[in-house]
Structure 1
């Protein structure tokens, strides 16, 4: 697959806990300048970003992360956050309830994700479910991917980018977006939900990485099917071939 410009697939991201309003302004300006699909930010800056874009005349999409990066809130709290920001955002990136996943409480995991997805859709929003690949075994991935795909989520997303490397390595995993996990998502989606989009995130800094992950996803280079979450959009642009 040859893609000359993948910027329109990017959710331009700033999620560092020490970020400032100036960082959000730069994120918005870069997104508007280069034509990324959206910005992805923490809830604390949603109102500021929306007001700033209004002053600048920008009509950009905003995605807000929910229960990020741990996936440690109750279902009720997650749903409440989705409702609270529904008038300001277009999309949600929601972390799976990781403690329930690691406890093998699959019925509870399924109920939580289904409830969260249904609430987001009731409000007319796109919802991406972050499965945090670095924290799960292959057996856990098989069950978790199935649950996410059958929940009706718009996207399954690889990672937060905030994984604990030491724990991941104990499981034999690497942090960030990995081609083998995206291939598994594509394989299982053929059985459970061929329409689900795939979002790759975590450690993506080059154009070549994007192409490899896109090819593994078996999706078209269309933002309704494939997204790239990255805080390194400018690095990706610098590594793109010159037309």
Structure 2
């Protein structure tokens, strides 16, 4: 496989700003950066979706909203409401955190039922769903279970991490997720993707999308100190 250039990697990146103290100026800045560098999407908290959608209008960059973030510990109905609201505000993509406790106790039905409801809400609005399984908190068995549940429920992607817990993406987890969901479903690596070398390693392991707040640094060949 030919090594991807930094510029080719841009199309894999969800340019991300999830800080709770983010300002409107910072949100507008990442939208400008996404358009300049050709990132796949801009990923923000629901509060900023309408702003991002307006800023990206007329470009090829998508609008992505997190849901149930970062703990995943809200009711399914709440996540569904958040999803519908984000889609109405202009979100093309939804990144939703699972009920981590359900994965740890092996409750496949609970996972499938929740993910199905949110996938339905996203798809009815023309958006895709990425399911954040928070790999750093799961056993290998629970990682496989969560990925299988996401696939069975009709999600479009599985995603490693929120970037707000005890760890982020690893090459090993990305490879396991790819093996579990097969070649057709998307796999997103997020949390700790801060250099072009890490980005290439995640893609080689099977990632088809990268979540990072360090997209500009990655493309410019710099090492970012960001935690996401």
Answer yes or no: same fold by TM over 0.5: yes
Q: Secondary structure at the match of 1:85?
A: helix
Moved over 6 A (4+): none
Which residue number in structure 1 is paired with residue 190 of structure 2?
Answer: 201
Unaligned runs of 5+ in 1: 166-174, 220-225
CA shift, 1:73, in A, is 1.0
CA shift, 1:103, in A, is 3.7
Which residue number in structure 1 is paired with residue 200 of structure 2?
Answer: 211
Contact preservation (8 Å) 2:113, 2:153: no
CA shift, 1:58, in A, is 4.4
Contact preservation (8 Å) 2:189, 2:211: yes
CA shift, 1:59, in A, is 5.3
Equivalents in 1 of 2:14, 2:130: separation in Å? 12
Equivalents in 1 of 2:68, 2:83: separation in Å? 10
Which of 17, 20, 24 matches 1:17? 20
Equivalents in 2 of 1:106, 1:59: separation in Å? 36
Which of 78, 102, 105 matches 2:104? 102
Equivalents in 2 of 1:150, 1:51: separation in Å? 34
Equivalents in 1 of 2:61, 2:176: separation in Å? 32
Contact preservation (8 Å) 1:46, 1:64: yes
Equivalents in 2 of 1:200, 1:125: separation in Å? 19
Q: Secondary structure at the match of 1:92?
A: strand
Equivalents in 2 of 1:228, 1:49: separation in Å? 19
Residue correspondences, number: 218
Equivalents in 2 of 1:206, 1:149: separation in Å? 29
Which of 73, 90, 93 matches 1:91? 93
Which residue number in structure 2 is paired with residue 185 of structure 1?
Answer: 177
Contact preservation (8 Å) 1:71, 1:99: no
Q: Secondary structure at the match of 2:205?
A: helix
Which residue number in structure 2 is paired with residue 41 of structure 1?
Answer: 44
Contact preservation (8 Å) 2:13, 2:215: yes
Equivalents in 2 of 1:58, 1:106: separation in Å? 39
CA shift, 1:140, in A, is 1.1
Equivalents in 2 of 1:227, 1:59: separation in Å? 16
CA shift, 1:209, in A, is 0.7
Equivalents in 2 of 1:108, 1:76: separation in Å? 13
Which residue number in structure 1 is paired with residue 35 of structure 2?
Answer: 32
1:130-141, aligned counterparts within 5 Å? 130-141=132-143
Equivalents in 2 of 1:48, 1:189: separation in Å? 34
Equivalents in 1 of 2:56, 2:174: separation in Å? 33
CA deviations 1:166-214 (Å, max 9, x no partner) are: xxxxxxxxx1110111111121123xxx311111100111111111111
CA shift, 1:146, in A, is 1.0
Q: Which has the larger radius of gyration?
A: 1
Q: Are residues 61 and 188 of structure 1, via their aligned partners in 2, closer, same or farther at CA, if it must alter by over 3 Å?
A: same
